[in-house]
Amino acid sequence: MLERIHIRNFALMDEVTVEFRPGFNVLSGETGAGKSILIDALSLALGQKGSAENIREGASEAEVNAVLRVEETAELREWMEKYGITPEDNCFLIRRVLKAGGRGTVSIQSVPVTRTALSELAELLVDIHGQHEHQSLFRTASHRKFLDSFAGLEDRVKDFTAQFTELTNLGRQLEALEKEESETAREAEFLRFAVEEIQEVKIRKGEEKELEHRQKIMARSEELAVELEGVLDAVSEARSGALSRLRGAGEKLRRISSIDASAGSIQERFESAFIELEDLVQDIRVKRDDVEFNPEEMEAVDSRLSRLGTLEKKYGVPNAEALLEYSEECVRRLEGLEGRGDERRKLQERKVELQNRISAEAAAISRERRKASSAMREKTELRLKALGMGDARFSVELEGKQNNSGKTLIGPYGLDNVEFLLSANRGESPKPLKSVASGGELSRVMLALKSVLGESDIVQTMVFDEVDTGIGGEVARAVGEHLHLLSGSKQVFCITHLASIAVFADNHLKVSKSTVDGRTVTRVERVDGSERVKEVARMLAGDQNAEASLGHAAGLLKERGWQG
């Protein structure tokens, strides 16, 4: 529960500390006194977005501190484990600072946190019903949220929505892949043709260089034969040939070595070289004999090189080695395109799996909603009767979504369109709220729903900002009694202008506005004894000093068992 709030330099509040109590807390005061400012400050402390406009004029920052006493729940333990923050003496101290020159700060137990972390904690502790929240009942989208909250389906529907979103994204991916299929097919056809065409040529590594070398030799075969013959003539065994003369020189070296033994090594080296020369001449002779011009071979080599050159030009590569590399690259790209087909098959399988799961889950959620709708109707009608709407009939209508052809549709929240219907008067059939509910009736419907939801809600503090809109008399008294009964299990706050509600309060706080040193300031003080009688009298007749108003106020309070 909320124990205390300290506000500094927030709107019209310069320095205000308010102590709250368990049970039913009422805030009253003249219009414009600043009652809603207090709720705004509390909302800021609970994670609502703030702005520099909230800072009191002339101040550099605004600060709101709130102390909340908590009872440990599974949800609260999960939050504490997530953020590593624990209460002290079962209390959380929340501090929120807004700065005129930039971003403010948020802390819990003096630990800096994000506004998201603060909001997550606040959702577990406090529920604030704003001045215009009852207008949300005109939006049927909120009806589904109320029903899911009552049925305890919020987390389940959240998971369902995540799966539905995944299915939607899968559909978009598959649609994109299908659009790419024709282009992919053309690319795959080109790559397959390129691979087949290159592989058909059966290129060997180094083949092109060998062919170019052979082509060069055959093109100059006559010149080569003449030159080789010239070499053989120069080294022949003929009388003027090199071999004949060298053989004679060898004979002379043998005679020299027989005279001078030291020349033996020279003679041996000469003979070794002569033998090598003889072998070399033999190789030249073989080479000469091999040289011949073969027109058919020349044509085959030219044709092969031409074929390779055509493919190189076609596929934009410099040589046959690069053609082989290009062919291998085409194979890899084909595998990638085929892999894309595998990806599409996997996405399609996942889509079918999700469709089946979503269809089953949507049907299961719909069954749970239909079971919960009857209980919600009964409990809400009981609450409405307690709120002075004894003839009211409340119903929860669930209709399946369908397209123009009557086919059942599944949306991000399931199968159902949920709408609340109300008959405020006996004999009238239930109709949509926006068609039949007045402002006062709408406020009471919202209060009834909040009360019904609160029965199973872990939130221990409920704040109602002017829930008395459009009501008065006996209806207002019924609302006050209802809020007081609700405060038996939860701490309840209510801003009200109606005395018939205020007299039910366990803790009555008066908000007032005054001028101090030329500045307007808002004050909040607890009223009791004669001061409370005066405030109730003001709320009744606008005059807190008239004897009749004071007598009426005292009577109302005593009816409630107030001792003064």
213 shares its domain with 286? yes
Task: Detail the DSSP E strand segments found in 322-392.
Answer: none
Which residues touch 485 (CB under 8 Å, ≥6 apart)? 386
pLDDT digits (tens, 9 = 90+) for 25-55: 999 888 888 888 888 899 999 988 888 889 9
What is the pLDDT, as a whole number, of residue 218?
A: 76
Look at the chain and report how many structural domains it folds into: 3
Residue 312 resides in a domain: yes
Provide the token pair at 40.
């705004």
Residues 93 and 121 in one domain: yes
Other C-beta atoms closer than 10 Å to the C-beta of 303 total 10
Q: pLDDT tens digits for 345-360?
A: 888 889 999 999 999 9
Check whether 338 has a pLDDT greater than 70: no
Task: Mark out the alpha helices in 291-416 (DSSP H runs).
Answer: 295-314, 320-386
**Number of Cβ within a 10 Å radius of residue 110:** 8
Integer CA distances (angstroms), 31 to 7, 432, 511, 552, in order? 20, 33, 10, 22
pLDDT of the residue at 368: 95
Instruction: Specify the range with the lowest mean pLDDT, choosing from 124-128, 288-292, 367-371, 416-420.
Output: 288-292
What is the CB neighbour count within 10 angstroms for residue 305?
17
pLDDT at 8 > cutoff 60: yes
Domain end call among 302, 337, 372: 337
d(CA 168, CA 63): 45
Any idea which residue has 């691979």 for tokens? 195
Which tokens belong to 564? 């003064």
What confidence score (pLDDT) does residue 136 get?
A: 64
For residue 18, the enclosing domain spans 1-131+466-526
Q: Indicate whether 225 and 87 sit together in one domain.
A: no
- For residue range 349-407, what is the model confidence (pLDDT) as tens digits? 899 999 999 999 999 999 999 999 999 999 999 888 888 888 889 999 998 877 777 77
Q: Contact at 8 Å (CB) between 420 and 441?
A: no
When mean pLDDT is compared across 229-233, 380-384, 436-440, 560-564, the lowest value belongs to 436-440
| Paired sense of beta strands 408-409 and 393-402, if any | antiparallel
| pLDDT interval class at 5 (50, 70, 90) | very high
- The answer to the question of residue 165 being in a domain is no
Burial-class residue 13 by CB neighbours within 10 Å (0-12, 13-18, 19+): buried
Query: Do 97 and 10 share a domain, yes or no?
Result: yes
Q: Same domain, yes or no, for 482 and 542?
A: no
Residues 538 and 477 in one domain: no
38 with 110, same domain: the answer is yes
Do the domain assignments include residue 376? no
- Please indicate whether residue 468 or residue 558 has the higher confidence score (pLDDT): 558
- pLDDT tens digits, 85-114: 999 999 999 999 999 887 889 999 999 999
First vs last Cα of the chain: how many Å apart?
A: 25
Q: Residue 306: in which H helix or E strand, if any?
A: helix 295-314
Position 439 confidence tier, pLDDT thresholds 50, 70, 90: low
Whether residue 438 is predicted with pLDDT greater than 70 in this model: the reply is no
Considering the domain boundaries, does residue 452 fall inside one?
A: no
pLDDT in tens, 446-483: 788 888 877 766 788 888 876 777 777 888 888 888 88
Cβ atoms 286, 277 nearer than 8 A: no
Which among 54, 26, 9, 12 has a CA at the least distance from the CA of 513? Answer: 12
- Residue-level pLDDT at 88: 93
Q: Which residue has the higher pLDDT, 419 or 185?
A: 419
- For residues 124 and 208, state if they share a domain: no
Of the listed ranges 196-205, 401-410, 505-514, the one predicted with least confidence: 401-410
Distance of CA 208 to the CA centre of its chain: 58
Pair 193, 220 in one domain: yes
Q: What is the mean pLDDT of residues 488-495?
A: 88
In a domain, 291, yes or no: yes
Query: Is 101 a member of any domain?
Result: yes
User: How confident is the model at residue 30, as a pLDDT?
Assistant: 87
* Range of lowest pLDDT (45-49, 159-163, 243-247, 551-555): 243-247
Amino acid present at 307: R
Same domain for 21 and 115?
A: yes
Q: What is the pLDDT of residue 437?
A: 59
Q: Which of 282, 305, 337 is the last residue of a domain?
A: 337
87 and 200 part of one domain: no
Domain-embedded: residue 69: yes
CATH number of residue 5's parent domain = 3.40.50.300
Distance separating alpha carbons of residues 258 and 254, to the nearest angstrom: 6
Q: Which two tokens stand for residue 136?
A: 């949300």
How large is the average pLDDT for residues 518-545? 85
Count the neighbouring beta carbons within 10 Å of the beta carbon of residue 84. Answer: 7
> In whole angstroms, what is the distance from residue 249 CA to residue 232 CA?
19
Percent of the chain with pLDDT over 70: 94
Position 41 in a domain: yes
For residues 214 and 267, state if they share a domain: yes
Final residue in a domain of this structure, among 313, 337, 361: 337
What is the per-residue pLDDT for 158?
Answer: 92
pLDDT confidence tier of residue 556, bands split at 50, 70 and 90: confident
Q: Please tell me the predicted confidence (pLDDT) of residue 238.
A: 66
Reported confidence tier of residue 564, pLDDT bands at 50, 70, 90: low
Name 422's bridge partners. 394, 431
Question: pLDDT averaged over the chain?
Answer: 85
295-314 and 154-201 are packed helices; what angle lies between their axes, rounded to 10 degrees? 160
Parallel, antiparallel, or unpaired for β 61-69 and 507-516? unpaired
Q: Write out the E strands in 21-154.
A: 24-28, 61-69, 91-99, 102-108, 111-112, 126-129
Q: Judge residue 283's burial from the number of C-beta atoms within 10 Å of its C-beta, 0-12 exposed, 13-18 middle, 19 or more buried.
A: exposed
Residue 131 has pLDDT above 60, yes or no: no
pLDDT over 60 (residue 525) = yes
